[in-house]
Amino acid sequence: MPLVVPGINSQGSGNDKTSEWMNKLVGKKIGDTSDQVTFARAELPKETRVIEPGQMVTKDFNPDRLNVHLAKDGTVSHVDHQ
């Protein structure tokens, strides 16, 4: 599992909202509860879509939507707002 260090692992694009979610999620799995290796799906914003590798998604722009991208092992690789 990748090492998650808040503020260091973020690839921030200057967007504080995106950087905050990067620090919370990268390296964790999405599940039913939150702990050191899992983040509860219920704690994600209402406008969130979890995107698995190879999954097709629409390209409509929604700056309030959090896109959570998963790696092949199911951990969060990165997030963005679109």
What's the one-letter identity of residue 11?
A: Q
CA 43 to CA 72: how far, in whole Å? 22
**pLDDT tens, position by position, 15-66:** 799 999 999 999 999 999 999 999 999 999 999 999 999 999 999 999 999 9
Q: Global pTM?
A: 0.79
List the chain domain ranges.
16-81
Among residues 47, 49, 65, which one has the least CA distance to residue 57? 49
CATH number of the domain at 16-81, out of 3.30.10.10, 2.130.10.10, 2.170.120.12, 3.40.50.920?
3.30.10.10
Task: State residue 7's pLDDT score.
Answer: 47
Task: State residue 31's pLDDT score.
Answer: 96
Written as six digits, the tokens of 26 are: 């990268």
